[in-house]
Chains A and B, each alone.
Chain A
Amino acid sequence: MAEYNKPSTIQEVDENFGQIKPNMTATMAYNESSRCLFCFDAPCVKACPTSIDIPLFIRQIYTGNITGSAKTIYDSNYFGNICGKVCPTEVLCEGSCVYTNQNEPPIEIGRLQSFSTREAIQENKQLYTTAPANGKKVAIIGAGPAGIACACELRLLGYEVHIWEAKAHASGLTIYGVAPYKITNQEALDEVEYLQKQFGFQVFYNKKAETEAHFNTLKKDYDAVFLGIGLGRTRSLGLDGENLENCVGATEFIEKFKLNPLGTFIGSRVVVIGGGNTAMDAASETARMGAEQVYLAYRRSKDSMGAYEFEYDLAKGVGVQGIFSASPVAILGKEQVEGLRFIRTEVKNGKLVNIEGSEFDIACDMVVKATGQEKQAIFVKNFGAIDTDAKGRIIVNDQFQTTDPRVFAAGDAVNGGAEVVNAAGEAKKAAKGIHKWLSNL
């Protein structure tokens, strides 16, 4: 039985995708901030990939200095509001709050972070003034968290910054990937617009940079180039029937669904293949869109899933059913997906093996493959002297400089796929790396 009715209007979609970290009122923020102990050498700061001075920004909320609080956050992380909502805080800052050591609920750091930064965004507080132009120019490819964070930091230092973005909007997977119950697209766009107003970087939308000729002009016309290109399409499984209608890659499905929820096909019996966070998201999303039955199929045991426990809990909470230790063998159907054949697996001598003769079929009308994204290998090849590692990740040094000294990179394209906060944090460091390199030339 479906937990959610199939929505037929945008309002109904919104109702099915209620925010799991709703905005705090001033009273909530005050009360919650008063619980913070202002720990010395606070574990939450160490757990934050961007090392936000969390005790300080919370204390600033407590003392009514919301502008100062927002500034403390943005000084470390340009995606303050977005991260407050989409970060897996359970395994980062909040997970390390000392309150958890005595089984008390941790401080709701993410929501407090969004409280301050949202106010700054809504009131359009000018927190930064950029340095006078230093006469140098940097080209950025990709307006995702990495590209935007790098742009802000470079503008602060006085660089002219031009961004090429393949899509119609900035903020990358925050818009095209992150689950809608974490943040609305509007809020993500508002934060980027707020940053753009303060920092004044220029974005060329719907402009994919991919030809060798284009790259060569960029390298010629600009003092440095930054790559914030993220990852590629969903990897193919190489199964029979993968090309049937309604067998879709998770990132492609989520992107389409996020831009046009009512115009995207949702099966009534859905199987999502994969055990990572994207699989959990796709399962939750199809369930919230009113699918009768959603299965989450993972070839290993439940405990070896890569997804965070709270993400699996979220999916379970909306009625998703797990099928574990089962590997897909073939996608069944004539033109459209009609079912999925699995074979049971077990671990023998530390290796995952199929159990012979244990095949079974599950009837379904939609298959979502959440089995990982390809790297941007083709892109990188066209770009020239940039090396990647065995997994296709762009290789950088501690300054985020690639093997082509003029070119820097950060975010998913370098770390292989992490969170918004990692991209934002690394790209800020990359901007410093660019500045250091250009200053020493």
Chain B
Amino acid sequence: MPDLSANLAGIKSPNPFWLASAPPTNSGYQVMKAFDAGWGGAVWKTLGVPVVNVSSRYGSINYKGNRMIGLNNIELITDRPLADNLREIEEVKKYFPDHAVIASLMVNTREEWHQIVKDVQNAGADGIELNFGCPHGMCERGMGSAVGQNPVALQTITSWVMEVATIPVIVKLTPNITDITEPARAAVAGGADAISLINTIQSIVGIDLDTLSPYPIVDGQSTNGGYCGPAVKPIALNMLKNCSLDPGVTVPISGIGGIETWQDAVEHILLGANNVQVCTAAMHYGFGIVREMKSGLENFMREKGFEKLDDFVGKSVEKVKTWENLNLKYKVVASIDEKKCIGCQLCYTACEDGAHQAIGLSGTDDNRVPHIIEENCVGCNLCSLVCPVEECITMVRKDDATEHKTWKERLAEGSAPTSFNDQRGGGVGHYIPEPIEALKKRK
């Protein structure tokens, strides 16, 4: 039985699944229920001077049959008095001493920071997370993402916190920035023990086409919100990868953003997260969703022979290179399994109109199975991505794996194209139909 226990900068939890600071961690009632359901830790809903929220607060993106693949919110931090939250933190810790309770904090002045850090430490929190990420409402007041977007301010506030902190401090970053490694390094410079990312992404999810008001609608009007849920995972993974690769980011990382299944969690861990945090999935399916995550992670570790998380934390980082270091000699082409093909011809139209005209049709109605024209195929994957049948279109390696040449090497040896009509461009000699052929195919 693999060991699922996690350790982020000294904060221990029985498994790597924490609830992110958000409505699911709004109260001791919810956190206790979550721990009972199997969550390993919880980052309390951000504490500070209690706010006043609007109604309504959320909007979402549905895709085909699936609801809420992206969620947008315009909620602020906690609207409950600090004393109530502290009392509940204390009570939760009494019942669940081995689970991680992290207090998320957001205040303004140095005095306020000192005071609230001491308060949550006294309440028995296992760690502190600094919310420098909220990209709506709070940033208008100079907090949240306003800090996360300003590395100097971020470092200063972090160092204020470190003046009084006796428990590990995590700095939570905003993705609403061009280079995530800048605030990450500032957090390290300020003395943070760990970073977490990402908070939500500024967004507008849609507009009510009857009233013309964007969602979520507050008395006919709206504001930009923060976007999260499965749709944001790729953005989160990339920022995580950037931090993992940056030699200046020397602290452990808590991965957040779009985690709904065990696979999402494993991906975060493979790109360098020591644990993961989840918000939208818990808001969608309730705390019970952790059953699937834990069982899947366990099964993955067993099948891969990993005994503990550290066996694979960051294992995929070394497989990420800059583009110029990728092998230009590697060559795959698509291959269609005729027996599996159901004849939708989506691959054909995708390649024909959206790629390289490398798929042909039989031309008869009784055979709808397309075929790959190998010499035209550039190995882009598009057809295999649109194919609705599992394993019907696969990419097959065609080079003999003996040659290796990167863009960087071609630049160095002077074999890279340099002028507009350079005959060494990749597309030279590749099949391109004459424009008029388009009209000849007209039905």
Contacts and interface: CB of A to CB of B under 8 A. Distances in A.
A132 to B, nearest CB: 17
Contact of B296 (A27, A30, A65): A65
Contacts of B286: 40
Contacts of A30: 390
A63 B291 CA distance: 12
A347 interface: no
Nearest to B285: A38
A38 B66 CA distance: 12
A68 B295 contact: yes
Nearest to A27: B390
A56 B65 contact: no
Contacts of B66: 34
A71 B389 CA distance: 26
Interface string B298-309: 111001000000
Contacts of A56: 291-292, 295
A229 B24 CA distance: 51
User: Helix, strand, loop or mixed for chain A's interface?
Assistant: helix
Nearest to B67: A37
A71 B263 CA distance: 18
B299 A67 contact: yes
A34, A59, A60 — most chain B CB neighbours (10 Å): A59
B292 A60 contact: yes
A64 interface: yes
B304 to A, nearest CB: 13
B222 interface: no
A53 interface: yes
A9 B364 CA distance: 38
A65 B295 contact: yes
A53 B37 CA distance: 14
Interface in B258-303: 261-263, 285-286, 288-289, 291-292, 295-296, 298-300, 303
Interface string B65-92: 1100000000000000000000000000
A68 B296 contact: yes
B386 to A, nearest CB: 14
A237 interface: no
B391 interface: yes
A207 interface: no
B234 interface: no
B220 interface: no
Nearest to B284: A38
Given A38-B289, A53-B291, A68 B299 contact: yes
A431 to B, nearest CB: 23
Given A60-B292, A68-B298, 16 more contacts: A27-B388, A30-B390, A34-B66, A35-B65, A59-B292, A60-B296, A62-B261, A63-B262, A63-B292, A63-B296, A65-B262, A65-B296, A65-B299, A65-B300, A68-B296, A68-B299
10 contacts: A26-B391, A27-B389, A34-B65, A38-B285, A38-B288, A40-B288, A56-B292, A60-B296, A63-B296, A67-B299
